[in-house]
Structure 1
Amino acid sequence: MKKKFLSVFILICWQSFAQAANLLEVYEQAQTSDPVFLQAVAQRLSTREGVPISAAALLPNIAFTASPSADKVGYSGSNFDPVVDNSGSYVNPRNLTQRNFSMSLSLTQTIFNYAQFSAVAQQVSLAKGADATLNAALQNLMIRVASAYFAILKDEDNLSYAEASKLAYAEQLDQVRQQYKVGLKTITDVYTAQASYDSAVATYIAAETTLSNDRENLRVITGVYYPHLSSLSDEFPLVSPQPRNVETWVKKAVAQNWSIKSGQYNVSAAREQIRQQYSGHLPTINVQTTFSKEVSDNINNYSSFTERNGPGTTSDRGIALNVNVPIFSGGGVVAQTNQASYNYQVAQQQLEQTIRSTINTTRQSYLSIVAGISQIKADKEAIQSTISSLEGLEASYRVGTETLVDVLNQQQKVFQAQTQYATDRYAFVNNILALKQAAGTLSFDDLRAINAWLIDKKRKTLRRMSVKSLSTTRHNKTLHMTKQ
């Protein structure tokens, strides 16, 4: 029974491990694990607390104080009058201990303080800016997850192409060596085939390293290592931006981009900082009410002393209007106001830089999407053309009208066309997300739409094949791969 349970458990774990994760699953994991995004969440919560902190200065301030004390008083001299203790005897005390208890309740209310009013307005702007920054951070998380995800898919494609190329060169090298042994090829042909194979091996190793590095890059964001990811379907649609007008997208970006909105709120906060510093020239007014009470008594039980200095209670009530008019503060107010003005100019220029950068990103992303549609179609044609050319060169090589170098060079062009196709495919998807991010409209629904283009399939390395069989077999594979 235990063995059966263990077998079922291992099977479930293996299936879970082997199942490919999709883009939405990776993104949801990143939302709870990415330190950059979680830092933005905490920063937003911290900044929003500035509003009630600054508003507290405008609300009533109530304070209560209590001060119990005990005092020991010494008496000396011949003129000191004796006192009677509780037994009726006359005594001549040299020390008297008294106890006192005082308490005070005060209420202070601001009537006019322009600095405090400006501080509240400044914190409100900063809080709104923090909300905009968090939204920008959320969209940036989507972009980073998608970029890391599709970088891995591109690396896997390139690795499969590199492996197929390496296997083809290996079999070509083996054929040339066999032909050299029987005198059909020269040593130069062997060296040429060996050089191509060595180059293919180096390319394959580099592709493996790049894939491993990009998997680790995704782990940095999610905290999870993903050995299998769902692949981008060969049938994914080549959609054009809607509306198909770059200026419309630019206007939308200027109006809705979250980084621009954050910069605008920062400018507003910097403006309030100028007013806050300038308020050092203005008077402040507040009203204060107090109630205090003091109780005193001696603890020596001297009746005659108590009669003259017995228990006493003192109460005090008052209300005051405090007006503070600044006259001169050593020029500090002027300097602080000037500093705030310069910081305001800094915020304005940062906003301008953000606007220009956003406009540039919007235009580039839009144009890249439009051009990407044509590029992907051209890449498919290039793959087919290079394979057809390779087939012709192989046939000519077999009859002796073409050299081995021409065949190997054409084989390299096939590999380059395939890797370019992979690069352009994933760049197209990333540009779609970048355009929506620039326009401020990127959302979870966009990731869900792209996730529908993914399929869960095992990525198989191409089987070992010779240059002779590679042309026909790869031609069929490529036609299937590039079919829309």
Structure 2
Amino acid sequence: MPYCVEPRQATTSLQIPRLLALSTVVAGVVAAFPQAGWAMDLRQAYEAAQANDAQVRAARAGADATRERLPQAKAQLRPNVAVNMGRNYNDLTTTGRGLLGSPVTTQTHYYSSNQSLSVRQPIYRPYQQAQVRQAQAQVEDADATLERDEQNLVVRVGESYFDALLAEDQLALILAQKTTYSTQLDAARKGFAAGTGTRTDIDEAQARLDMTVAQELEARQNMEFTRHRLEVLTGQSMDVLARLDVQRFQASAPVPGAVEAWMERAEAHSPELRSLRAQLEAARLEVDKARAGHLPTLDAVAQWSRTNSDNVTSVNTRYDNKTIGLQLSIPLYAGGQISSTVRQSLAAQERAQEMLEATRRDLGVRVHREFRGVTEGVLRIQALEQAVRSAEQAVQSNRRSFEAGVRTTIDVLNAEQQKTLALRDLAQARYLYLVSQLRLQSLAGADRVSTVELANGWLQAAAPHPTPASD
């Protein structure tokens, strides 16, 4: 059965077969385990995951790398100052003809040197100016992407945390059910020996007990897996998780109560949309950069140079040269490369625009789905709480009827099983409500700490206890 209120793609391993949950009755079984170690709540798990999760650390490093594009782009519009210096030893051999036509060879040895200081200040560089604005958009994209990954971490931690709680609840309920079936089997055997029962009662109780034993093995494996997954996410081992305070827990409808308001909030604050809007702006500026290939550039240039013995005719002579002026460069023809680059950039801009629109529509669907998960979760929890009370009353009635000889063992076992299913569905609905709430807040770009504290407020620092030992 998917961990949702309507058919949709699976997103968490809470989607496991035969989900069994803890209720007020089973809480007594859990609390009865020996106490040791310390408890971790959702807030502590999130803080540990923030420091340990490799995906978030990689996103932070990626954002830091992208932020460096802005100072690099701005540097292209600042003065460029360069100093060049050189000193050479020259050995010049000259062969010629003397006055009488005889060959004459002379050798000249001298040092030459040069020093130059040049300053170039861009005045009109449309390509670099567009590059600065593009770098700003890319930084906004990196910041929004990091925020999106941070929001996803809230959901991943919440799903893993409640998944681990559900696995513990499943095992605790199965152990309680196992005890009930064992007691029922023993009573059936005694009744059969006393002549008041039937062999069918024994076989039915034995079959239910055997099935519970198989479910216990599966539940233990699942609890170990979910606990390990949470430990990998947080980078910490833990003895026990803070449990949901079912006595204090009160599901309430989201505020604001209109799904349209949540959609507007998501469109305005969703980090996913902010990232795509920044990508669209960067794509638009890429078009400006491509078109700048047709435009001229203008720089202010100043240079001071000094040369000593620059050539053989100027040995022991020094020249000082100072220049200042403007340098204009006008592109004329580049073989069609610039026009092709413009067309390519326009296509990339259209792609970014369509991706933004597609994501905006999909975000509306996801917000609507999680909004329904919260609002319908409130009603479902209320209905299942009533179902649990009715199932408990049915169990008591069947037991009294069995003692009076009106009902059979099978009737009692069926009532017990129906109660177990009601308890399972109730706990599942509570966890679904909390996870849907985390997802809804994340999609709307809410403050991460506030989102975690909202869910963490329903938890209690349960008395620490180790994993229950196998019977």
TM-score between the two structures when normalised by the length of structure 2: 0.84
> Equivalent residue for 1:119?
131
Question: In the aligned structure 2, how far is the partner of 1:148 from the partner of 1:348?
Answer: 35
What SS does the corresponding residue of 2:39 show, helix, strand or coil?
Answer: coil
Residue of structure 1 equivalent to 2:159: 147
CA deviations over 1:344-368 (Å, ceiling 9, x no partner): 1221122112212221222222222
**Deviation for aligned residue 1:149:** 1.5
Q: Specify whether residues 158 and 269 from structure 1 end up closer, same or farther in structure 2 by C-alpha distance, changes over 3 A only.
A: same
Give the letter for the 1:46 counterpart: A
3-state SS of 2:249 partner: coil
User: Which residue is equivalent to 2:108?
Assistant: 96
Give deviations 1:365-401, integer Å, cap 9, x for gaps.
2222221111111111111212222222333334444
Give yes or no for contact 1:63–1:107 (8 Å, CA) kept in 2: yes
Q: Show CA shifts across 1:137-159 (max 9, x none).
A: 22222222222222222222222
Higher relative contact order (CA 8 A, sep 6+): 2
Contact 1:119 1:272 in 2 (8 A): yes
Moved more, 431-440 or 376-385: 431-440
Percent of residue pairs identical: 29
User: Structure 1 residue 79: deviation in Å?
Assistant: 2.9
Coordinate RMSD, CA, aligned: 2.9
Which amino acid in 1 is paired with 2:136? Answer: V
- Secondary structure of the residue aligned to 2:142 is helix
Q: Does 1:38 align with 2:57?
A: yes
Q: Deviations over 1:42-71 (max 9, x none)?
A: 222111111110111111111111111112
Q: Does the CA-based 8 Å contact 1:158-1:422 persist in structure 2?
A: no
Structure 1 partner of 2:29: none
Distance 1:388 1:113, change over 3 A: same
Query: What is the alpha-carbon distance in structure 2 between the residues aligned to residue 106 and residue 63 of structure 1?
Result: 5
1:156-235 equivalent positions in 2, closer than 5 A: 156-180=168-192, 187-234=199-246, 235=248
Unaligned runs of 5+ in 2: 1-34
Number of equivalenced pairs: 431
The answer as to whether partners of 1:433 and 1:442 remain within 8 angstroms in 2 is no
> Within the alignment, does 1:443 sit opposite 2:448 as a pair?
yes
Structure 1 residues without counterparts, runs of 5 or longer: 1-15, 82-91, 299-307, 464-484
CA distance in 1, matches of 2:196, 2:189: 10
Q: Is structure 2 residue 82 aligned with structure 1 residue 63? A: yes
Q: TM-score normalised to the size of structure 1?
A: 0.82
What is the distance in 1 between the residues matched to 2:112 and 2:293? Answer: 42
Q: Which of 234, 255, 267 is 2:268 aligned to?
A: 255
SS at match of 1:58: coil
Measure the CA separation in 2 of the matches of 1:200 and 1:369.
32
Q: Select the residue among 24, 27, 31 that pairs with 2:46.
A: 27
SS where residue 18 of structure 1 aligns? coil
Give the Cα separation in 1 of the matches to 2:391 and 2:400: 14
Matched residue type, 2:371: Y
Asked if the contact 1:169–1:197 (Cα under 8 Å) also holds between the matched residues in 2, the reply is yes
Equivalent in 309, 324, 328 of residue 296 of structure 1: 309
Q: Which residue identity lines up with residue 169 of structure 2 in the other structure? A: D
**1:394 alignment partner in structure 2:** 399
Q: 1:47 aligns with which of 63, 66, 91?
A: 66
2 CA distance for matches of 1:174 and 1:21?
40
SS in 2 for 1:65: strand
CA apart distance, 1:277: 1.0
| Distance in 2 (alpha carbons) for counterparts of 1:257 and 1:312 | 70
Q: 1:460 to 1:123 in 2, by over 3 A?
A: closer
- Contact 2:36-2:465 at 8 Å conserved across structures: no
Whole-Å separation in 1 of the counterparts to 2:383 and 2:309: 99
Q: Deviations over 1:414-435 (max 9, x none)?
A: 1111111111111112222222
Distance 1:17 1:174 in 2: 33
Question: Residue 372 of structure 1 aligns with which residue?
Answer: 377
Matched, 1:239 2:244: no
| Aligned residue in 1 for 2:143 | 131
| Cross-structure match for 2:10 | none
Inter-CA distance 389–116: structure 2 relative to 1 (3 Å threshold): same
The structure in which a higher percent of residues are helix is 1
Q: Give the 3-state SS of the residue equivalent to 2:327 in structure 1.
A: strand
- Please point out which of 286, 307, 326 is paired with 1:321: 326
Rounded Cα–Cα distance in structure 2 between residues aligned with 1:382 and 1:330: 78
Distance across 2 between alignment mates of 1:412 and 1:80: 128
Aligned counterparts of 1:156 and 1:58: Cα–Cα separation in 2: 61
* 8 Å Cα contact 1:99/1:297 also seen in 2: no
AA matched with 2:224: S
Deviation, structure 1 residue 17: 6.9
Q: Does 1:107 align with 2:119?
A: yes
- The answer on 1:405 being equivalent to 2:392 is no
Q: 1:53 to 1:402 in 2, by over 3 A?
A: same
User: Judging changes above 3 Å, is the alpha-carbon distance between structure 1 residues 17 and 76 closer, same or farther for their aligned structure 2 residues?
Assistant: farther
